[in-house]
Amino acid sequence: MSQSVPIPQPAPRWSDRLELGEGIRWVGGTIVLVDILTGRLLSAPEGDDRTGPLEVLAELPVPLGAVAPVEGRPGSWIAAAGTGFCLIGADGKTERLACLEEGRARVPMRMNDAAADPFGRFWAGSMSYDEVEGAGALYRMDRDGTVTKVLEGITVPNGPVFGPDGTTMFLADSVRGVIRKYLVAPDTGELGEPSVFTTLDSGSPDGMAVDMEGGLWTAVWGAGRVHRYLPDGTLDRVVRVPAEQPAGICLGGADGRTLYITSARVGLPTPGPLDGAVFEARVEVPGLPTAQYRPEWV
């Protein structure tokens, strides 16, 4: 990707202004995303209208961190929600699968960002509502439904996202401003020792996506930017976003070359007119397909 070709400033789409828009995915020819604190699962409406509201697919009574599509269950999602994992059916009803952070005496917790890997497993991070240092963790649900706490001591985990062949994982510890890289064992999901992929001097790395060249894109919370990094960690692109808190990103569209960006209004004393909007811009390198959770029990 040549730096000589600029990316236009992302344009706002749809009329919604989300409290904490994250977890955006390109699935089945449309975007799907969450408004975490309101517990809503949203998608783009049918047709070409980019000015109306997003469609509500489901509304949960707990925070909804992120979802992944479930193979063999059209319109269903596995979700990091509340303090654990659940299934959201095509009718919007939920089925609890695992309680991970419920009843912890130390601090109130919730699930945050999540994604499936190319091998069909589901990964999700947890965090405390008050971003207590080191209170968060990363969990993995295998295809047989077994849940493992993979990492702990994270403050605010975002991602994970996976490289093109699924054997590399990137995980942001947002408050600490660092993105780490892990090798992933294809058969077991076991992680190798981490290495620091990049550290940000300002703003916090938030939602991420990987493109077909292995480039890593990340929203930079608090800085109004999206960054693209080369596979060796070199900063390749900076995209300015007209919102202070970009939060989630994905690469989608018919050719995979539309960059979608969510943003948030939460915590801003005087949100601007575009804070909380969903944006899009065109890029050169297409993204990877959204991976599905592939349960053995379907």
3-state class (DSSP) for residue 37: helix
Task: Name residue 43's beta-bridge partners.
Answer: 32, 55
Q: Which two tokens stand for residue 291?
A: 């991976």
Residue 236 and residue 215 in contact, taking contact as beta carbons nearer than 8 Å = yes
* Token pair belonging to 292: 């599905």
DSSP 8-state code for residue 20: B
* 110 annotated as ligand-binding: yes
206 is catalytic: yes
190 annotated among ligand-binding-site residues: no
Give the position of tokens 């706002």. Answer: 12
Cα angle value 51/55/61 (rounded, 5°) = 135
102 annotated as belonging to a binding site for a ligand: no
Q: Is 152 annotated as a binding residue?
A: no
As a three-state string, the secondary structure of 227-239 is EEECCCCCEEEEE
Burial of 195: CB neighbours in 10 Å, binned 0-12, 13-18, 19+: exposed
Residue tagged active-site, from 16, 173, 206, 211: 206
The answer to the question of whether 106 is labelled as a binding residue is: no
DSSP letter, residue 213: T
- Kindly list the catalytic residues: 206
Annotated binding-site ranges: 22, 110, 112, 130, 158, 206
Annotated binding-site ranges for substrate: 110, 112, 130
Annotated binding-site ranges for a divalent metal cation: 22, 158, 206
